[in-house]
Chain A
């Protein structure tokens, strides 16, 4: 069924509401939205606000694939998703998900690029030509025969985008394409996307947690709050958005109008503030200002620690001391050995050489149950630890494991993420709630040192600040924390010290402000705008007081 649509409109949603089976209320409520051809639309919203449902509705995956009920109409270049299944829209809409590896059907780059075209029944000669074009467009020509599993995250995501693009869709839908990537990988992908928008005039709809990465490129922002949608120019929407990057927060605080969307905008608006900073010229030392619980003696010491996986040396003879009361952030690109180091420190992972000492013992020699009372680890996929049907059961099990009276884990959970219903299945929790549950379970054992592997993945700004507060509370009680992350803004906000890893070795180690401001790649937005050792909006507020 092809309805006439206004010329120049790519997607039109009229009165769309979506209710999933068994849900108490609709996920999307009465959404009216039209997206013009050639626009880059950024969809923002808190976790669970209905962003993914909105994106899924664009090519009919909602409700054809996910189930549930969709009222109203979604029309894509004149095709109504009511009558067209996602497969019938494949020539119009290309969809790229969060985890590129999960969506790969074939083994090698070239075959993956061709897969979509094969499904559409294009002639072999056409496919040949388009595969070459796509390889060039995304800069992956040298990888054409490479096995997909051996690519880096950024390369994989670019291949995923290329695989969709090769079929020449008119619309590209990307659901958090950079959430699993390191800053460099994310840059690669975003650069590729902006190039597509400008060169091919393709319509792009993109959802992204780390708004600071995309906001500068967006033509329009769609803000999803509790299933309702408002859309407008980025500067308008950002005034009241629940999700805002640091540069926007800084602009809101400083009262700039229009709000800065990028570091460049911010830099120009912040000239007076910077001038004031130069005048004062008294830099309060942000670091080492005697936080409660900070001690000189290391809680955990590692010497000459190496980890190898077959031929690959993941960690090469590193030494490390973690002090009580300190939050240390471990940064570095994907595959630089961060996870291997954390697992080796905890003692559950493999270790080729070296010693680790915590409280006079090597955690590797301790029984797992004793080990976790000294040093706890929250792994990259926290759900690996969960196997019981309800939150309450998981908590009760954690209390038993730690030999505490029932309710201890629940208390911790309430402090970390309040209002998680006892009878929920852990699978139904949001990303942040699930992380909170696992954190609570690991904290039940009250370890002296807590390691966290990529805890900020999939968390929105609010959840990240909540996490940062919880971690700070722990260090105030004399615990030590070591976490790995790609998220510069989170590091700026939460950590005291930063370690940068590359190829299994430490290449930088120092106070957060020092390491982060040393190179533009790691600098947070506020530091780029204001400089002078200020890293976060909170730093700026502390420095200038309330401007208004």
Chain B
């Protein structure tokens, strides 16, 4: 296969499949499998762009999540189980804070349950981080319908402001030393925050001015534009409202009118799509080099889907194998369908075209 970038939506579909799978299981073996699958595909198919290098940050974040969950369990978790691992005195809290267990003896089962829970969240984040590393989020926005163009641009701007903000904080912190001000704590906040905010504001204004003068937001203008905009707005808003009610009805098991959910969702979707189609017609933006959708894209999405489907099958067949047995404690099982599904999700590492090389500048920008 010739090197090219895969359609960003394909990577996101794949990652969402894995995330769904991760959210359904508390079996450390399955979660570990998802981690290595994501890792394998990411190292095999990422580019060397800055956002691809951010994958490491997601991995670090995952580890932090598990650790925080473990510490929180010791601090305030509800300790349960039978195998004592850490005998700590329990600190009595006043009545108004009843329900919070400060310290207290830690048992292995409770701690393991907390760790698995943290791991689940970490894997979820890692899967999303994988998609982020493989598909530039800004390119993803280009694949959205025209009506979402403006929302998309807002997201692009905020995405690019974040790293600048970090850089700015770093710079100001360093500059503060020059004034002999090594103070920390609350007093230091305005000294850092004000220059940083000012800097961010300046940059945002510059960006906005640049976008304005490059034609961002120009519309096909005609006499009926105002009326059409009103119609677009009301259609989309009504659609989203109906969709929200419908979703509520579908997802809430205690609902009273169970038959109403699906039709409401369908109606809401229809209204929203109509609104967007109408709104999209007014925007004259075109897309440069739209990413193609070919067989590897379909395979990638199917691979992610396989992980989720395998998990669903295992949940029907052997629900207990999806969880680490804790009451009593035992070794985790290995549900076949879920395992096969997750292993299938590693396929994109082989069946997708390799990423195109980025033309790196010969000299690097300084600093």
Contact = CB atoms under 8 A, between A and B. Distances in A.
A145 B359 contact: yes
Given A151-B365, A387-B191, A401-B179, A124 B289 contact: yes
18 contacts: A65-B208, A93-B213, A105-B211, A106-B156, A114-B289, A119-B214, A121-B286, A131-B288, A156-B365, A164-B214, A339-B366, A346-B178, A367-B180, A377-B178, A384-B199, A385-B176, A387-B191, A442-B178
A385 B179 CA distance: 7
Given A119-B216, A340-B367, 11 more contacts: A61-B209, A91-B215, A105-B214, A123-B286, A127-B288, A146-B360, A149-B365, A153-B365, A314-B366, A335-B366, A386-B195
Nearest to B171: A384
B210 A343 contact: no
Contacts of A349: 174
A422 interface: no
Contact of B361 (A91, A94, A152, A368): A152
A434 B77 CA distance: 54
B137 to A, nearest CB: 10
Interface in A206-257: none
A424 interface: no
A281 interface: no
B317 interface: no
A87 B221 CA distance: 12
A372 B178 contact: yes
A441 B179 contact: yes
Contacts of B312: none
B287 interface: yes
Nearest to B174: A348
Interface string A141-166: 01111110111110110000001100
B177 interface: yes
B364 A103 contact: no
Contacts of B157: 105
A90 B210 CA distance: 10
A337 B228 CA distance: 57
A148 to B, nearest CB: 10
Given A87-B213, A95-B213, A102-B203, A368 B177 contact: yes
Interface in B188-222: 190-192, 194-195, 198-199, 203, 206-218
A133 B55 CA distance: 35
Contacts, number: 214
B363 A152 contact: yes
A94 B212 CA distance: 11
A107 interface: yes
Interface in A24-48: none
A94 B213 CA distance: 7
A187 interface: no
Nearest to A93: B213
A-B pairs with lowest CB-CB distance, top 8: A335-B366, A90-B215, A103-B210, A369-B180, A114-B288, A121-B284, A384-B175, A119-B215
Interface residues of B, number: 59
B180 A401 contact: yes
Interface string A81-122: 000011111110111010100111111101100111111111
Interface residues of A, number: 89
B136 interface: yes
B213 A334 contact: no
B208 to A, nearest CB: 8
A456 interface: no
B24 to A, nearest CB: 34
A335 B289 contact: no
Given A379-B175, A385-B179, A386-B195, A97 B210 contact: yes
Contacts of B108: none
Interface string B47-90: 00111000000000000000000000000000000000000000
B251 to A, nearest CB: 37
B367 A124 contact: no
B223 interface: no
A445 B361 CA distance: 42
A143 B360 CA distance: 7
Interface string A302-345: 00000001001010000000000000000000111101100100
Interface string B116-139: 000000000000000000001010
Contacts of A445: 180
Nearest to A164: B214
Given A146-B360, A150-B360, A372-B180, A336 B366 contact: yes
Contact of B285 (A93, A118, A348): A118
Contacts of A266: none
B356 interface: yes
B210 A88 contact: no
Given A128-B289, A147-B49, A384-B171, A379 B179 contact: no
A105 B154 CA distance: 11
B290 A152 contact: no
Given A87-B213, A376-B178, A385-B179, A120 B367 contact: no
Contacts of B366: 152, 314, 334-337, 339
B183 to A, nearest CB: 10
B361 A151 contact: yes
Nearest to B358: A145
A59 interface: yes
A343 B174 contact: yes
A108 B285 CA distance: 19
B87 to A, nearest CB: 44
Given A147-B49, A401-B180, A61 B212 contact: yes
A190 to B, nearest CB: 19
A142 to B, nearest CB: 6
A87 B357 CA distance: 35
A124 B286 contact: yes
A465 interface: no
Contacts of B210: 95, 97, 102-105
A513 B171 CA distance: 35
A118 B286 contact: yes
B152 to A, nearest CB: 11
A399 to B, nearest CB: 12
Contacts of B182: 367-369
A124 B287 contact: yes
Nearest to A155: B361
A126 B213 CA distance: 21
B213 A59 contact: yes
A167 interface: yes
Contacts of A145: 356-359
B207 A102 contact: yes
A332 to B, nearest CB: 10
A372 B190 CA distance: 21
Contacts of B136: 107
A420 to B, nearest CB: 19
A90 B179 contact: no
Contacts of B138: 106-107
Interface in B268-295: 284-290
A543 interface: no
A159 B367 CA distance: 20
A408 interface: no
Given A65-B212, A346-B178, A384-B171, A111 B218 contact: no
B97 to A, nearest CB: 39
Given A115-B214, A118-B288, A142-B359, A107 B178 contact: no
B347 interface: no
B202 to A, nearest CB: 8
Given A107-B136, A146-B361, A87 B286 contact: no
Contact of B207 (A90, A105, A117, A147): A105
B40 interface: no
A355 interface: no
